[in-house]
Chain A
Amino acid sequence: MAVNETLATYSDWCFRAAVLVYVFAMVGYAVEQAFTRTAKKSEAARELVGAGGPVPAGTDTPAYGRVEAAPRRDRAERAGRAAVALTVLGVALHLASLVLRGVATQRAPWGNMYEYSMATMLIAVITWLVLMRKFDVRRMGVFVLTPVVILMFLGGTVLYTDAGPVQPALRSYWLVVHVSAAIISSGLFLVPGVFSVLYLIKAAHDRNPAKFARLAPKLADADTLDRLAYRTTIFAFPIYTFGIICGAIWAEAAWGRFWGWDPKETVAFVAWVVYAGYLHSRATAGWRGTRAAIVNTTAFAMVVFNLFFINLVISGLHSYAS
């Protein structure tokens, strides 16, 4: 099974171009974030409604006390819109890179850590685009793209693996099912992880306005951050559960047991339990809000820990990195 070197090279170019475009997009979001004037009360109220409140879009009342008829798009707004356009371009390049890898190697393009982290980040950015379409969260783009760019940079340097075939243990259709479920859920989890961190910043500011005085007023309100984190998580959690169960089914066929407390399995279990804790904490008196956000952040930290630390530092059955 020969690897198509030309396509593999094109894939690498697309990957680099995608990272570069994301960096530009990140700058765009950062400019918007930095130069947005703090929203006026009336606008803030409108945003709350628009962002998942009970009244459907189109029926909200206009903001009072605004004189100018058609407000000119200011520089911050233009930067934000450019950033979205760049993000879309980045996703296109990113997707092209992944598809080319798959075609070049004639297999699912997630057989090593470089490909895995690339695919996960693609899902994260797509999640972000979907959320931006439905909710007014664009200004916070810099906080989502920064971890994406960092993880992609690490993926493209530390974890980079030449396009090639996978070892016999990975020759199974479960590679497609189990790993793609892991990729989709992990990519989805990145966004609520970021939102929960932002929630903690915002909530700290709301309790004491002196804290994060420059940053917090430009974030969405705490309620929106909490709700979006929760909604994305409950979408991702069943996929994550499905991924773990598929992993168990695969392990039964490949390693002779469905569960053996291999380090990767263990930390996946730990992250699953912490996510379960998050879902319960939002329904428990005294645990809503800040505590729930801390739990959600911890859960995402476990997912990242499972990807990097467990695969690179601890040797186990999942050590496919090299």
Chain B
Amino acid sequence: MTAFLRNTWRGLTSMRTALILLFLLALAAMPGALLPQRSLNPPRTADYIAAHGWWGTLLDRLEFFDVYSSVWFSAIYLMLFISLVGCLLPRTVDYARSMRAQPVLTPRNLARMPHHAQATLPEEPAAVIADAKARLSGWRTVERDEDGGGKTLSAEKGYLRELGNLVFHFAMLGLIVALALGKMFNYEGQVIVLADGSEFCNSGTAGYDTFRPGLRVDGTDLTPFCVRVDDLDVSYFPDGQAEQFTVRMDYQAGADLDAGTWRPYDLRVNEPLRVVGDRVYLLGHGYAPTFTVTFPNGESRTQTIQWRTVDPQTLLSQGATKFDPPGTTDAEQRRKSQIAITGLFAPTAQYDGTLLTSGHPDLQDPAVAVDVLRGDLGIDSGRGQSIFEVDQSLVDQGRLVRVARQNLEVGGQLRLDDGTTVRFDGVERWAYLQVSHDPTQVWVLVFAVAMILGLGTSLTIKRRRLWVRATPDDAGRTVVSVGGLARTDQAGYGEEFSRIAAALRTPRREP
């Protein structure tokens, strides 16, 4: 049993296994680039599955649309992690040992070494060795005596290579651990905020349009802070390409929350707001048309609701603004007279006949093309519904009826048969913000930097050995033989060796 365990452990921690696991990891990561992933784009994933029948379903059951959280991907990197630990522990022990060890004995025949040089010098062997030792500063050296009055010097350098290697691999382990912890405690939420002085506070998940918690986040303990979006500036090049988006906003956190102090910040792409450990990003922007509905009894209601962008180039937008008739207490009556304004909004109107499109993403000539629907919006049913559209099934059932269709410019209004008027007042911009929280990402960065440093060290420094043997000859002079061996890759040691050997052969000038 122990033999089996030992063999399994050895097999798992051998370099060959590690290599195969590396290739498996690369192979397993690929489908995530080629197939749509649920974590990145849920609707596209759903479309893909629907479009590919049994094949899509099979891929889905095999977790090909959630590759990076799949069982098989996790299994591979977990095994790689274990293999790495099993490889690193003995190497660390070896390295600690080698730090205390002396350079190895001088080989008998230095001429056999990949690098070799020889010379005859007038000095004594002891003087030659002392000279060599002085010149080899930075090398770890040991002197040894040989039979026949000879002396040798063993020198070794480049211990940092293995250190860099170990640092790289341990940093990678640290990075994986930090990533895993991040998955536990991070969260990410997206929210649309109107740029008309609207506020958003990070007080709970309900405030968000979408919220993705980490495995250990239940949403009750979010970092408290608030933002207020005052304005959104967008500048364009003449061809409609965006030059810069700037959200003029204020934020408050910590003591400011109690004091009510707001601090200004200009939020831009690439310039997130970093506040009390969280980050606020600008992900996108769009338009929210303002409509005023004046009901037959003279009361009016005004709403500004975000419409969603359907064409990112021209910011043609689509949405539904929903109104409840005021002063109607009878539920039955209300369900007959609710109003929805749906249709298209164009920041720069262009007409193809009466068909509205947008010619430019900036607000040059805003207009809407709206359908006004009257009837039951289904708001009382208790079922959640999209803020961007009306419930189509109610239209199909005839409970929600189109009562007008018209194009309106700013200030334009239309009148329904019962005397209700609908006016298009103007438009606000909205900012699509993301709040991110990841307490371990700074550790990921620290480990990544350590990886780079370790990698650079281990790939540039060479572990190399040099030996000098000085033996007296019959004429009273000293034969000096120098040998060199690079322990890793021979390339590049030749030049350094020649330089050292040449220096050793020339007698030292007395100061």
Q: Point out the residue from A171, A231, A250, A263 that lies within 8 Å of B33, measured CB to CB.
A: A263
User: How distant is the Cα of A284 from the Cα of B491 in the complex, in angstroms?
Assistant: 18
Whether the Cβ atoms of B441 and A252 lie closer than 8 Å is: yes
Asked if A168 contacts B272 (CB within 8 A), the reply is no
Return chain A residues, CB-CB under 8 Å to B188: 256-257
Complex Cα–Cα for A124 and B489 (A): 24
Question: Cα distance A281–B18 when bound, in Å?
Answer: 10
Residues from chain B with Cβ under 8 Å of A261 in the complex: 32, 37, 39-40, 67-68
Residues of B within 8 A of A274 (CB): 22-23, 26
CA distance A165 to B268 in the complex (A): 17
Q: Is B34 at the interface (CB under 8 A from chain A)?
A: yes
Residues of chain B lying within 8 A (CB to CB) of residue A280: 15, 18-19, 22
CB-defined contacts of B179 to chain A, threshold 8 Å: 259
B385 at the interface (CB under 8 A from A): no
Contact B23 A277 (CB under 8 A): yes
Query: From A234, which residue of chain B is reached at the shortest CB distance?
Result: B459
Is B336 at the interface (CB under 8 A from chain A)? no
**Of B23, B114, B242, B455, which is within 8 A of A54 by CB?**
B114
Asked if A169 lies at the interface with its beta carbon under 8 angstroms from chain B, I say yes
Task: Scan residues 285-310 of chain A and give those whose CB is less than 8 A from a CB of chain B.
Answer: 285-287, 295, 302, 310
Complex interface: chain A residues within 8 A of B19 (CB): 277, 280-281, 284, 287
Check A54–B30 contact: CB distance below 8 A: no
Q: Which residues of A contact B258 (CB under 8 A)?
A: none
Which of A53, A237, A238, A295 has the most chain B CB within a 10 Å cutoff? A238
Interface residue stretch chosen among B314-322, B392-400, B408-416, B443-451 = B443-451
**B271: CB under 8 A from chain A?**
yes
Contact with A along B235-252 (1 / 0, CB 8 A): 001000111110000000
Asked whether, in the complex, the Cβ of A53 is within 8 Å of the Cβ of B494, the reply is: yes
Instruction: Given the known inter-chain contacts A266-B29, A266-B30, please indicate yes or no for A286 contacting B459, CB distance below 8 A.
Output: no
- CB–CB A254/B33 < 8 A: no
Is there a chain A Cβ closer than 8 Å to B279's Cβ? yes
Candidates B16, B22, B269, B495; contact of A169 at CB < 8 Å: B269
Q: Which residues of A contact B309 (CB under 8 A)?
A: none
Taken residue by residue from 151 to 189, chain B's Cβ proximity to chain A (1 for < 8 Å, 0 otherwise) reads as 000000000000000000000000000010000000010
Q: How far does the alpha carbon of A168 sit from the alpha carbon of B237 in the complex, in Å? A: 11
Report yes or no: A248 in contact with B245, Cβ–Cβ below 8 A.
Answer: no
Q: How many Å lie between the Cα of A270 and that of B28 in the bound state?
A: 9
Q: Which of B244-270 contact A (CB under 8 A)?
A: 244-245, 268-270
Chain B: minimal CB distance from A240 (Å): 10
State whether A231 touches B491 (Cβ < 8 A).
yes
Shortest Cβ distance from B213 into chain A, in angstroms? 14
Question: Which residues of B are found within 8 Å of A230, using beta-carbon distances?
Answer: 489, 491
A284 to B17, alpha carbons, bound, how many Å? 10
- Residue of B at shortest CB range from A306? B33
Given known A-B contacts A168-B243, A238-B452, A276-B22, A310 and B436 have beta carbons under 8 A apart: no
CB of B79 closer than 8 Å to a CB of A: no
Q: In the complex, which of the residues B15, B279, B445, B490 contacts A283, with contact meaning CB atoms closer than 8 Å?
A: B15
Is A267 among interface residues, defined by CB-CB distance under 8 A?
yes
Whether A172 sits at the interface, judged by CB under 8 Å, is: yes
Query: A169-B270, A254-B269, A267-B33 are known contacts. Are A277 and B459 too (CB-CB below 8 A)?
Result: no
Shortest Cβ gap from B419 to chain A (Å): 47
Q: Are A171 and B244 in contact (CB under 8 A)?
A: yes
B459 near A248: Cβ-Cβ < 8 Å: no
Which residues of A are found within 8 Å of B459, using beta-carbon distances? 234-235, 237-238
**Which of A1, A234, A260, A284 has a CB less than 8 Å from the CB of B15?**
A284
List 22 A-B residue pairs with CB atoms under 8 Å apart, sorted by A's residue number: A1-B243, A54-B497, A165-B241, A167-B242, A168-B242, A168-B245, A169-B270, A241-B452, A245-B449, A245-B451, A249-B445, A253-B272, A254-B270, A257-B438, A261-B32, A266-B29, A270-B33, A273-B25, A277-B26, A280-B22, A283-B15, A284-B19
Rank and list the top 6 A-B pairs by shortest CB-CB distance, nearest first. Answer: A266-B33, A263-B33, A273-B26, A256-B281, A172-B270, A277-B22
- B residues contacting A by CB (< 8 A) are 15-16, 18-19, 22-23, 25-26, 29-30, 32-34, 37, 39-40, 67-68, 114-115, 179, 188, 237, 241-245, 268-272, 279, 281, 283, 434, 436, 438, 441, 444-445, 448-449, 451-452, 455-456, 459, 489-495, 497-498
Residues of A in contact with B (beta carbons under 8 Å apart): 1, 52-56, 164-165, 167-169, 171-172, 174, 227, 230-231, 234-235, 237-238, 241-242, 245, 248-250, 252-263, 266-267, 269-270, 273-274, 276-277, 280-281, 283-287, 295, 302, 310, 314
Given contacts A171-B269, A241-B452, A266-B29, 17 further A-B contacts (CB under 8 A): A53-B494, A55-B494, A56-B494, A168-B243, A168-B268, A168-B270, A169-B269, A234-B459, A238-B452, A245-B449, A245-B451, A248-B448, A253-B270, A253-B272, A261-B67, A280-B19, A302-B26
